[in-house]
Amino acid sequence: MSKLDFFQMYRDIIAIPSISSTDPAWDQSNQQVINLLADWFAGLGFAVEIQPVAGVAGKFNLVATLGQGSGGLLLAGHTDTVPFDADRWSKDPFKVTQEGDRLYGLGTIDMKGFFAFIVAALQELDLTQLTKPLRILATADEETTMAGAKAIAEAASLKPDYAVIGEPTGLVPVIMHKGHMSEAIRITGKSGHSSDPANGINAIEIMHQAIGKLLGLQQELKEKYNNPHFKVPYPTLNFGAIHGGDSPNRICGCCELHIDMRPIPGVSPEELVGLLHENLKELHECHPGCLHISHMHDPIPPYACAEDSPLIAEAEQATGHAAEAVNYCTEAPFIQQLGCDTLVLGPGHIAQAHQPDEYLDLSFVKPTQAVLQHLVRRFCH
């Protein structure tokens, strides 16, 4: 097959909208992007498998494999983008526009453009020389539920030795990030006329006590845990939203607090939920049945790559950058569940992700392709 042009691939993949959103008015199927990727990788001789993501209509993962058996390298990314703010984009988000040394478009760096980098890099290699399998994974719904990556982790049918996820890290190897949880704490009291407090159970007053306990937990997290790779080296607990009551002359019957918690590597979401329950136990005993804690979405676990992994050493050498920790979440904790050393490393800067006029700086093109070629040569030979 004749070689595909890098810029044409970029134009083609950005032109297909593949927005994922928890708002059904925005949410779209990623099937057309998956089909395009299937053509690209089949053209390179890969065996391509398109897998519907169970429970999510119109969403698909793609696994493309060159070679047989387990081991080798997995290059991964997500096919969806966030929605866009039409008023704030000065260009058409679905039409790649080159201006100076920038390529503008939705998904240019976060991150379906990464697949064009992979194809361009592989076209320059003699793929018949590979002795270990090379796999490509393209997932659905990273920007919302990570359903695609979770399905791949649960199926556990891929067994690579190493995985690289091409999120926009500025081509710096990223080896850890915190997890993310959103928890709802609901206090159900009993409403009544404000003239007699004994007529009810005031949910705001109980919430006040709960917040006091959680402030204590904030402090406990800070003292108990420390990971010096992070600017904020401990698990955080943020008070994000609170709603309760309806009018001054009624005893508040219900109050709900939403908190965000970010576990560091080595601390599981379950451990933080355990601490939450432990700190609120006394309150629970004083007011039986009043207190309810629930996940607002499935927790994203923290992630760290084993620091002695050869993948880190190779990536540092190939990019010339020391590995670092970041403060955003990726699919890495799920991909890692396949049993592979996992790294996040890709072109473009995270600061341009989820922004109007998202763009790829063209200075990333050559170095990224060279890094991908280096990793394929190193881990598939």
Q: Which residues are catalytic?
A: 80, 142
Contact string (CB under 5 A) for Zn ion, positions 167-206, x = contact: x---------------------------------------
Cα 368 from Cα 121, distance rounded (Å): 8
Q: Which CB atom, from 110 or from 341, has the smaller least distance to Zn ion?
A: 110
Q: Which CB atom, from 67 or from 348, has the smaller least distance to Zn ion?
A: 348
Choose the stretch contacting Zn ion; rule: CB under 5 A; options: 161-169, 190-198, 268-276, 320-328. Answer: 161-169
Cα 102 from Cα 354, distance rounded (Å): 16
The yes or no reply on residue 141 touching Zn ion (CB under 5 A) is: no
Q: Which CB atom, from 10 or from 234, has the smaller least distance to Zn ion?
A: 10
Please list the residues that pair with 262 across neighbouring strands.
Answer: 236
* Residue 9 CA from chain centroid, whole number: 24
- Regarding beta strands 134-139 and 60-66, do their DSSP bridges make them parallel or antiparallel, or are they unpaired? antiparallel
Contact pick of 28, 79, 84, 110 for Zn ion (by CB under 5 A):
110
At its nearest, how many Å lie between Zn ion and the CB of residue 212? 38
At its nearest, how many Å lie between Zn ion and the CB of residue 167? 5
Q: Which CB atom, from 38 or from 76, has the smaller least distance to Zn ion?
A: 76
- Regarding beta strands 236-244 and 303-304, do their DSSP bridges make them parallel or antiparallel, or are they unpaired? unpaired
Contact partners, residue 24, CB within 8 Å, separation at least 6: none
Cα 312 from Cα 168, distance rounded (Å): 17
At its nearest, how many Å lie between Zn ion and the CB of residue 9? 18
Contact string (CB under 5 A) for Zn ion, positions 4-43, x = contact: ----------------------------------------
At its nearest, how many Å lie between Zn ion and the CB of residue 351? 13
Q: Which CB atom, from 290 or from 344, has the smaller least distance to Zn ion?
A: 344
How many CA within 13 A on the CB side of residue 48?
18
Cα 50 from Cα 33, distance rounded (Å): 11
At its nearest, how many Å lie between Zn ion and the CB of residue 29? 18
At its nearest, how many Å lie between Zn ion and the CB of residue 31? 19
Report the residue number whose CB is nearest to Zn ion. 110
At its nearest, how many Å lie between Zn ion and the CB of residue 110? 4
Contact pick of 106, 111, 165, 181 for Zn ion (by CB under 5 A):
111
Choose the stretch contacting Zn ion; rule: CB under 5 A; options: 91-99, 104-112, 133-141, 361-369. Answer: 104-112
Q: Which CB atom, from 76 or from 254, has the smaller least distance to Zn ion?
A: 76
Choose the stretch contacting Zn ion; rule: CB under 5 A; options: 85-93, 110-118, 203-211, 273-281. Answer: 110-118
Q: Which CB atom, from 13 or from 130, has the smaller least distance to Zn ion?
A: 13
Size of the site for Zn ion (CB under 5 A): 3
Choose the stretch contacting Zn ion; rule: CB under 5 A; options: 64-72, 109-117, 243-251, 265-273. Answer: 109-117
Three-point CA angle 107, 21, 354, nearest 5°: 35
Contact partners, residue 128, CB within 8 Å, separation at least 6: none
Where along the sequence are the contacts to Zn ion (CB under 5 A)? 110-111, 167
